[in-house]
Amino acid sequence: MQVHQQVSEYSDAIDLMVNMGPQHPSTHGVFRLVIWVDGERIVKVEPHIGYLHRGSEKICESEQYSQIVTLFDRLDYVGNLNNELAFCLAVEKLTETVVPERAEYIRVILCELNRIASHMLFYGVYGLDVGATTPMLYGFRERERVQELFESVTGARMMHNYIRIGGVKEDVPDDFDKNVLILLDHLKRGVDECDRLLSQNEMFLARTKGVGIITGEDALDYGVTGPALRASGVIEDVRVTDPYSIYSRFDFGIPVGSNGDCWDRYYVRVEEMRESIKIVEQAISDIPDGDISAKVRRIIRPPVGEVFVRTESPRGDLGVFLVSDGSDKPYRVKVRPPSFANLQALEYMLEDTYIADAVLVLGSIDIIMGEVDR
């Protein structure tokens, strides 16, 4: 019998190059992954991005400040409201605009609901990545409830253009409080149901436990943020460590994992939905009456200067860097997209895993290509 010698040098071992994508069904967007394999084992990966590059940052330079909000909707098209908020916060910081209380509360409620919707999408799609079809139906059912509320408030299911510089577009409908409470009731049961359905499933555990491990230190070095970083045991949430808007008023926890594997990244998001529900509950109980927008000029001309704002989007640390030259258009807008940095760590996570797990690890980072390519 011949024993096949284990070859340590990659150059000899590589016998197959597998091309995944662009548009592999489970790659979450137009993304291409080139994988070199030795048998079933991944030797090297090379991610290719840029298929969705629209030059959003450059387009921002030719639009007026109030027109840019719609462009931010289209970056992370699953967490739209969080993106709008990040840009509006940057402009408000530069122009020293004080946002009315009621608008702040509406923003927080909608952003947290958006986080739940985004994580529900992740939950459903991640089930599909593993090979379970049912979670997708439950995840999308819960997400749809949130989308319905968004439609009643903003008039759109996805591209809201609702959060404006200085406040929000218009006041919420009269039955908003009632609808949110009903929604929360549904969501609480929905999250528990989803949790029971997938989290402790034996096959799910076998596929995700101990796969795609990244340590907290390495994750930070790669610039990984958000749920993916917290799954590695680093306690970091911009809402708590560098609070913006009115997040410092609410009482909520930061779910943290311990192993940094796929299951932790998944479960941190499930727990995060529960924390978001807590925030919305507190916000809806003390939402005050009053104005919904500060008095801002129709054409905003911020003073010369630059500002960097960090926010916690569903995917991680979303930063907006704004340079103003005193005119009605920004001189430079730079978005620090969380998915872009998180995706860099894919090479590290996929090292020495099986090719069947590649899609699983990619799914656990929860990337949105609109944000990666901008």
Partner 1 sequence: MPMKESSSISSKREIKAPIVREDLDQAGENLHKILKESISDFPGSEISVSIDMVTVKIDSVQLAKICEFLKYTEKFGFDYLSCITVVDYEKDQEIFEMIYHLISIRLHHKMAIKVPLPSNDPTVPSVLGVWKSADWFEREAHDLFGIKFEGRENLPPLLLYEGFEGYPGRKSYPFHDYGEW
Site residues (vs partner 1, CB under 8 A): 49-50, 53, 55, 57-58, 61-62, 93-94, 96, 218, 220-223, 234, 236, 241-242, 303-308, 310, 317, 319, 321, 323, 325-327, 329, 331-332, 334, 336, 340-341, 343-344, 373-374
Record the tokens describing residue 101, joined without a space. Answer: 């209380």
Toward partner 1, which CB reaches closer, 281 or 325? 325
Distance between CA atoms of 143 and 186, rounded to whole angstroms?
Answer: 11
CB of 344 to partner 1, least distance (A): 5
Q: Please give the structure tokens belonging to residue 310.
A: 């960090």
| Amino acid making up residue 271 | E
Separation CA 2–CA 191 (nearest Å): 53
Please, what is the minimum distance in Å from the beta carbon of residue 131 to partner 1?
30
Task: State both tokens at 278.
Answer: 């807590």
Q: Beta strand pairing status for 305-313 and 41-48?
A: unpaired
Least distance (Å) between residue 42 CB and partner 1: 19
Q: In what side-by-side order are the strands of the sheet with 41-48? A: 16-20, 32-38, 41-48
| Closest distance to partner 1 from the beta carbon of 63 (Å) | 10
Residue labelled with tokens 């939402």 = 287
Question: CB-wise, 132 or 323, nearer to partner 1?
Answer: 323
Please, what is the minimum distance in Å from the beta carbon of residue 230 to partner 1? 11
- The helix/strand count (H/E) of the chain reads as 16, 8
The DSSP code sequence of 217-280 is HHHHHTT--THHHHTTT----HHHHS--TTGGGS-------SS-SHHHHHHHHHHHHHHHHHHH
Q: At what angle do helices 176-194 and 134-154 cross, to 10 degrees?
A: 170
Closest to partner 1 by CB, 17 vs 206, is 17
Residue 64 vs 201, nearer CB to partner 1: 64
Closest CB to partner 1 among residues 296, 346: 346
The residue (of 129 and 366) whose beta carbon lies closer to partner 1 is 366
Q: Which is nearer to partner 1, 140 or 233 (CB)?
A: 233
User: Which residue type occupies 351?
Assistant: E
Least Å distance, CB 308 to partner 1, is 6
Looking up tokens 């997209």 gives: 337
Residues 339/374, Cβ–Cβ less than 8 Å: no
By residue count, the chain amounts to 374
CB of 331 to partner 1, least distance (A): 7
Phi, psi of 102 (to 5 degrees): -60, -40
Closest distance of CB 98 from partner 1, Å: 13
Closer to partner 1 by Cβ: residue 133 or 258: 258
Least gap, CB of 61 to partner 1 (angstroms): 8
Q: Is the dihedral of CA 220, 268, 20, 338 positive or negative?
A: negative
Q: Work out whether strand 32-38 and strand 163-164 pair parallel, antiparallel, or are unpaired.
A: unpaired
- Of 222 and 266, the one with the shorter C-beta distance to partner 1 is 222
